[in-house]
């Protein structure tokens, strides 16, 4: 192998001694492509296919050792931090295993959820950069939702919105699986759940919900069994249920508010005949679901007020006696006009579609979500920039790992039958089909991928100043 070393542009911080050290590094290193060419020549000299692969592996390992942070710096400068790039440089031996694991898990998820594999991987990759959520975490999120709601397509469509919500709140994607599952199966949102997450966040902020947006989200998650018994197929119906729960949560602990909503649904379903006789209309649909639960509760309140006129004490006692302490006091005291107003306000920044009755049938948010804005703000922080570098490094590692994995896949089988020609992708994403005998091209591809990674993410070097250095008067 040639003695040339890879040149890497470094941003140096420190004293004048650092500049001197940087010159030593620059003089000791040359461009990474030269290492790639040396690897290419070594592979071309190897005669048999299996030996070529072994030779290539040795050359690549040597290249990897030369372009590791420690070797690049040649021991001249110590006390440095190479952000993001360190994992990329350890890729050749480990990246192939990681690429294999990622390929197998995403393939399994796509098959189970009925998703297009290429589309799934493209979605995950795009969301890595946008939301700073890792590829494995995103894949696990979709797999978990598929097992829970059998709506893998909706999970994929929600990846970006949920990723923003997780990053903005500091939560793991896995923590939002029950929330999204309840929105999907309970609130009957089949596609992107981003609008519902935004409304819950807005409600919690305006109404100063105890525990904030996260508490309201977790409450919706806990209400999934009750929500699955309610017909909330329209955006307006969903907003009213969310607003009702948020209003209840203003003055109640999360568990108490959940008990009220659960009790309300149970009351309407369990005593449907009595409720329908009292209100003189149907409250249960033909599919057994509760129809317009908020209007049912409001009508029960009106019935109590009409029965006991202006005697509020009698109204309260009758509500508690009829519906129990928690639900009874909620029916008696809830300002349902405020609930409807808050439900309507939650559509701010959205284009709404009305049905024939003037109810909100559908809505599409056009303004950026609060979670997206908060994520963008986080990206500008020191921690966010570091995380973004790590995401890019992980993507490069997978790309180069795919190339290295192709070498492994191209190895002849035990029975002596050659494997199918590998399909590789260059640094620009262009597909490149290589034959097993074309070891030189394969070596060159690996070298170019590595060189591109170095240029894209040069290490940032920090040096501890020499305490003995003269600092002047």
Cα(195)–Cα(185) distance, integer angstroms: 15
pLDDT at residue number 54: 45
Phi, psi for 284 (deg, rounded to 5): -120, 130
Of 195, 201, 198, nearest to 214 by C-alpha is 201
Cα(192)–Cα(204) distance, integer angstroms: 20
pLDDT at residue number 449: 62
Q: Between these two residues, 471 and 403, which has the higher pLDDT value?
A: 403
Q: Between these two residues, 445 and 288, which has the higher pLDDT value?
A: 288
Longest dimension (CA), the chain: 100
The tokens of 374 are what?
């908060």
Delimit the domains of the chain by residue range: 11-84+410-462, 223-366
Asked if residues 452 and 2 have their Cβ atoms less than 8 Å apart, the reply is: no
Give yes or no for residue 161 having a pLDDT over 50. yes
- Model confidence at 25, in pLDDT bands (50, 70, 90)? very low
Task: State the Rg of the chain over Cα.
Answer: 31
Per-residue pLDDT tens digits for 203-213? 999 988 888 89
Q: Where are the beta strands (DSSP E) in 100-198?
A: none
Length of the chain measured in residues: 473
Lowest mean pLDDT: which of 7-21, 37-51, 140-154, 242-256?
7-21
pLDDT at residue number 430: 56
Per-residue pLDDT tens digits for 49-100? 444 444 444 544 454 444 444 444 443 333 333 433 344 344 455 777 888 8
Cα(163)–Cα(169) distance, integer angstroms: 10
| Burial status of residue 280 (CB atoms within 10 A of its CB: 0-12, 13-18, 19 or more) | exposed
Cβ atoms within 10 Å of 434's Cβ, excluding its own: 19
């Amino acid at each position: 192998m040639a003695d040339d070393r890879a040149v890497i542009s470094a941003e140096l911080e420190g004293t004048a001694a650092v500049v001197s050290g940087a010159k030593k590094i620059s003089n000791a290193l040359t461009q990474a492509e030269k290492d790639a060419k040396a690897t290419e020549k070594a592979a071309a000299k190897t005669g048999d296919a299996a030996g070529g692969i072994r030779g290539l592996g040795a050359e690549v390992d040597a290249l990897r050792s030369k372009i590791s942070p420690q070797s690049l710096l040649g021991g001249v400068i110590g006390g440095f931090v190479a952000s993001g790039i360190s994992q990329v440089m350890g890729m050749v031996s480990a990246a192939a295993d990681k690429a294999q694991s990622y390929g197998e898990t995403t393939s399994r998820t796509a098959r189970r959820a009925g998703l297009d594999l290429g589309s799934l991987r493209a979605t995950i990759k795009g969301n890595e950069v946008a939301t700073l959520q890792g590829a494995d975490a995103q894949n696990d999120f979709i797999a978990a939702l598929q097992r829970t709601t059998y709506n893998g397509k909706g999970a994929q469509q929600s990846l970006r919105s949920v990723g923003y919500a997780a990053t903005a709140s500091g939560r793991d994607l896995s923590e939002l699986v029950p929330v999204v599952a309840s929105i999907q199966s309970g609130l009957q949102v089949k596609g992107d759940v981003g609008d519902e997450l935004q409304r819950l966040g807005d409600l919690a902020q305006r109404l100063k919900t105890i525990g904030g947006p996260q508490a309201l989200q977790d409450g919706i998650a806990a209400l999934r069994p009750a929500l699955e018994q309610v017909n909330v197929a329209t955006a307006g119906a969903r907003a009213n249920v969310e607003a009702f729960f948020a209003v209840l949560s203003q003055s109640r602990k999360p568990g108490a508010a959940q008990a009220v909503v659960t009790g309300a649904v149970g009351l309407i379903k369990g005593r449907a005949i009595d409720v329908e006789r009292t209100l003189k209309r149907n409250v249960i649909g033909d599919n057994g679901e509760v129809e317009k639960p908020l209007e049912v509760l409001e009508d029960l309140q009106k019935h109590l007020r009409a029965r006991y006129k202006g005697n509020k004490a009698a109204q309260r006692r009758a509500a508690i006696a009829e519906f129990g302490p928690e639900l009874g006091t909620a029916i008696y005291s809830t300002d349902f006009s405020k609930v409807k107003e808050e439900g309507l306000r939650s559509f701010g920044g959205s284009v709404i579609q009305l049905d024939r009755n003037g109810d909100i049938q559908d809505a599409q948010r056009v303004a950026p979500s609060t979670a997206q804005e908060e994520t963008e703000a986080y990206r500008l922080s020191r921690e966010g920039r570091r995380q973004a570098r790590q995401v890019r490094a992980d993507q490069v590692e997978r790309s180069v790992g795919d190339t290295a994995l192709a070498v492994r896949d191209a190895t002849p089988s035990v029975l002596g039958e050659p494997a199918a020609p590998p399909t590789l992708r260059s640094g620009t994403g262009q597909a490149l089909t290589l034959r097993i005998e074309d070891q030189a091209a394969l070596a060159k591809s690996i070298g170019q991928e590595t060189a591109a990674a170095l240029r894209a993410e040069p290490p940032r070097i920090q040096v501890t100043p020499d305490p003995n250095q003269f600092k002047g008067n």
